[in-house]
């Protein structure tokens, strides 16, 4: 959120990430990555941290399409 004090994190979105349940499928991974990506500018090495989830998403989607 941009305000008079500069760019700030929206506490509700941070709470949603922290309270996220275990990811059980491709759709869960996609939803989590969408939300987490919103804050990638504020997270050092976000792409390095998130790479395994993006790889998992690609692998799962590819194997689902092959079936």
DSSP string over 16-63: HHHTPPPP-SHHHHHHHHHHHHTTGGGSTTHHHHHHHHHHHHHHHHHH
Residues 7-47: pLDDT tens digits? 777 888 778 777 877 778 888 888 888 888 877 887 889 88
Residue 67 has pLDDT above 50, yes or no: no
Q: Is the pTM of this model over 0.85?
A: no
Task: Report the pLDDT value the prediction gives residue 4, as an integer from 0 to 100.
Answer: 84
Supply the range of the domain harboring residue 40: 2-66
- Res 66: pLDDT: 40
Q: How far apart are CA 51 and CA 57, in angstroms?
A: 10
Residue 62: what pLDDT? Answer: 56
Structural domain count, the chain: 1
């Amino acid at each position: 959120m941009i305000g008079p004090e500069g760019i700030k994190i929206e506490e509700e979105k941070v709470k949603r990430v922290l309270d996220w349940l275990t990811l059980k499928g491709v759709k869960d991974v996609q939803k989590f990555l969408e939300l987490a990506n919103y804050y990638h500018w504020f997270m050092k090495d976000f792409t390095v941290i998130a790479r395994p989830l993006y790889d998992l998403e690609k692998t799962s989607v590819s194997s689902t399409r092959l079936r």
